Amino acid sequence: MPGKIRNKQRGCADPAERVELKKSCAACTAELSRLRKQKQTAYNMIEDNPKLKALLACEMDAWAENDPYLSPREKQVLRNQRPPQEDKTIIR
């Protein structure tokens, strides 16, 4: 999102609008930074808690089995690609 705002800023000739675009870009950057920190905290919690990791793996299995948009063939491919339960990891 900040990239799109920066592109608008480059093509902008109005100084007042440029100032507003800079503020908007700074606000987006701050929000993205906050969300990235929260995401990293969540990943760290998952990695540190094996029970939570196992529950999330089961949830992903259930999602794949019950997804109405996956064909039976795609579900079979997902089943064949799954590592054993104890070796499952969260992909970032």
Q: What is the pLDDT of residue 38?
A: 94
Distance CA 59, CA 35 (A): 23
Give the pLDDT confidence of 40-53 residue by residue, as tens digits. 998 888 777 888 87
DSSP code per residue over the chain? -HHHHHHHHHH---HHHHHHHHHHHHHHHHHHHHHHHHHHHHHHHHHH-HHHHHHHHHHHHHHHHH-TTS-HHHHHHHHHHPPPGGG-----
Q: Provide, rounded to the nearest whole percent, the portion of the chain with pLDDT above 90.
A: 21
For the entire predicted model, the pTM comes to 0.49
Give the pLDDT confidence of 6-22 residue by residue, as tens digits. 888 888 888 899 999 88
Contact 12, 18 (CB under 8 A): yes
Amino acid letter at 85? Answer: Q
Confidence of residue 89 (pLDDT cuts 50, 70, 90): low
Q: What is the pLDDT of residue 39?
A: 93
* Radius of gyration of the chain measured on its C-alpha atoms: 21
